[in-house]
Amino acid sequence: MGENKIRVLIAKPGLDGHDRGAKVVAQALRDAGMEVIYTGLRRTPDQIVSAAVQEDVQVIGLSSLSGAHNHLFKKVAELLQEKGHEDILLIGGGIIPEKDRKQLEDVGFDRIFSPGTSTEDIVSYIKEKVNG
């Protein structure tokens, strides 16, 4: 009967004014048939998690170019665990050094994409993880 649309929340936490990358990803996901809730710039981890819960998304994608990812990304992961939403696929991208990537994956991120990743890779990663 119905179809299961993949719903994704794309957010930029913290003081970071550059959202071109996030918008490119949002469009690519839309073009792949997903419903993308775009929340815009300068969001707090609380706002992001609360929006994700109400929107009932299967995926959260965070973008950061400011260097504050360790703190902000981690906070989002912690809040999700606190509220019992570990089932949400948590991914990130932006300017994130290799060593931080591993650290973030240790605190609950499913995947951190590095600069230069093709949007096709992100699309197929999400589809595979969500639809199994």
Partner 1 sequence: MGNQVNELARGIIAGEEKALAKGLTFIENRKSGYRELLDSIYPEVRSCPIWGLTGAPGVGKSTITNYLVDSLANRSERIGVIAVDPTSPFSGGAILGDRVRMMDLAGREGIFIRSMASRGALGGLSPAIMDAVSLYQAFGVDRILVETVGVGQSETDIVSLADTVAVIMMPGTGDDVQTIKAGLLEIGDIFAVNKADLEGAETLAGLLQSMLSSRNGDEKWVPPVIKLVASQGQNLDTLLEKFLDHQKSLEKSGQKEKKEKMRNEMALKMHLQARFQDLYLGPLLGTEDWEKAIKSINRREKSPAYWAEKLISRSD
Smallest gap from Cβ 10 to partner 1, in A, equals 9
CA 129-130-132 angle, 5° bins: 65
Smallest gap from Cβ 65 to partner 1, in A, equals 18
Counted residue by residue, the chain has a size of 132
Q: Does 124 bind partner 1 (CB under 8 A)?
A: no
Residue whose structure tokens are 């048939």 = 33
Sign of CA dihedral 15, 114, 50, 41: positive
- Cβ atoms of residues 94 and 104 within 8 Å: no
Q: Pick from 17, 18, 21, 34: which binds partner 1 (CB under 8 A)?
A: 34
Here the tokens at position 123 are: 């699309």
Q: Pick from 46, 86, 120, 121: which binds partner 1 (CB under 8 A)?
A: 46
Distance CA 98, CA 16 (A): 20
Smallest gap from Cβ 99 to partner 1, in A, equals 31
Number of residues binding to partner 1, judged by CB under 8 A: 31
- Cβ atoms of residues 10 and 61 within 8 Å: yes
Q: Does 95 bind partner 1 (CB under 8 A)?
A: no
Q: Does 120 bind partner 1 (CB under 8 A)?
A: no
Smallest gap from Cβ 44 to partner 1, in A, equals 8
Q: Does 74 bind partner 1 (CB under 8 A)?
A: no
Gap between the terminal Cα atoms of the chain: 19
What does the binding site for partner 1 look like in residue numbers (CB under 8 A)? 1-5, 7, 26-27, 29-40, 43, 46-51, 53-56
